[in-house]
């Protein structure tokens, strides 16, 4: 025995002809086509808006990343200069003067040799500060076959010398050179700090 008699039947009991609503097939098709077009346009506009929003977000993220990177670079550069500043001061106040003093005689000989290349038959003279004549004379005997006159001048400071070859003169001043290097380093550090602070 089946249980079909217990269940309600939702099927069409009668096969009545469909009611005429007074709308033609062409109007229904035109309405359906207009609805499709409206839905398609709305979907397209949503997709374009989503793409624009995504592009704007990517541009914003990129700009933020570049700003962070720029800040990190400037921060690292600033910290590097801050760390190197004491080393520069030690170099210009202690190491460079000692190195210049130790090599000053050799520097005199090199400069004199450079000047003498174009004037080999001219008289050569070196004027140095008091007490520096003997070390310079010892270096000259190895380098020059012609005699070089070496004089000491009490008015010159250690690290100062005047070279003459014929009518050509040249002044050497270690202290002036060291002071110039020190001023350049100080100016570089000062300008860098100013640019970092004020952009």
C-alpha pair distances (Å), 1 with each of 5, 6, 47, 180: 10, 12, 59, 118
Residue 52 inside a domain? The answer is no
Residue 150 inside a domain? The answer is yes
Domain housing 81:
60-198
> For position 21, what pLDDT does the model report?
59
Residue 10 inside a domain? The answer is no
Of 3-17, 72-86, 97-111, the range with the lowest mean pLDDT is: 3-17
Collapsing DSSP to helix, strand or coil, 126 comes out as strand
Please state whether the predicted TM-score (pTM) of the whole model is above 0.85.
Answer: no
User: How many domains does the structure of the chain reveal?
Assistant: 1
Residue 181 inside a domain? The answer is yes
What average pLDDT does this structure show over 184-199?
A: 78
Choice between 147 and 111, residue whose per-residue pLDDT is larger: 111
Flag whether pLDDT at 78 surpasses 90: no
CA 11/CA 24 separation, integer angstroms:
28
Residue 41 inside a domain? The answer is no
Residue 183 inside a domain? The answer is yes
Classify residue 147 by burial, with Cβ atoms within 10 Å: 0-12, 13-18, 19+.
exposed
The CB density around residue 150, as the number of other CB atoms within 10 Å, is 19
CA 36/CA 43 separation, integer angstroms:
10
CB of 169 closer than 8 Å to CB of 125:
no
Collapsing DSSP to helix, strand or coil, 153 comes out as strand
pLDDT digits 0-9 by tens, 113-167: 888 777 767 788 899 999 888 888 888 866 666 778 899 999 988 889 998 888 8
Flag whether pLDDT at 18 surpasses 70: no
* Tokens coding 130: 């008091």
Residue 42 inside a domain? The answer is no
Residue 80 inside a domain? The answer is yes
């Amino acid at each position: 025995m089946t249980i079909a008699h217990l269940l309600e039947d939702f099927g069409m009991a009668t096969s009545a002809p469909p009611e005429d609503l007074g709308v033609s097939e062409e109007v229904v098709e035109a309405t359906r086509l207009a609805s499709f077009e409206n839905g398609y346009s709305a979907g397209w506009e949503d997709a374009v808006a989503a793409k624009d929003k995504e592009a704007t977000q990517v541009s914003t993220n990129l700009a933020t990343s570049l700003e962070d990177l720029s800040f990190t670079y400037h921060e690292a550069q600033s910290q590097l200069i801050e760390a190197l500043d004491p080393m520069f001061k030690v170099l210009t106040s202690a190491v460079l003067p000692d190195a210049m003093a130790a090599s000053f005689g050799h520097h005199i000989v090199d400069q004199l040799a450079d000047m003498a290349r174009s004037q080999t038959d001219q008289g050569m003279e070196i004027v140095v500060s008091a007490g520096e004549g003997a070390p310079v004379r010892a270096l000259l005997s190895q380098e020059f076959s012609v005699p070089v006159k070496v004089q000491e001048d009490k008015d010159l400071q250690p690290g100062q010398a005047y070279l003459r070859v014929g009518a050509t003169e040249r002044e050497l001043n270690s202290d002036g050179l060291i002071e110039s290097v020190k001023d350049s380093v100080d100016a570089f550090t000062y300008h860098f700090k100013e640019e970092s602070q004020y952009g």
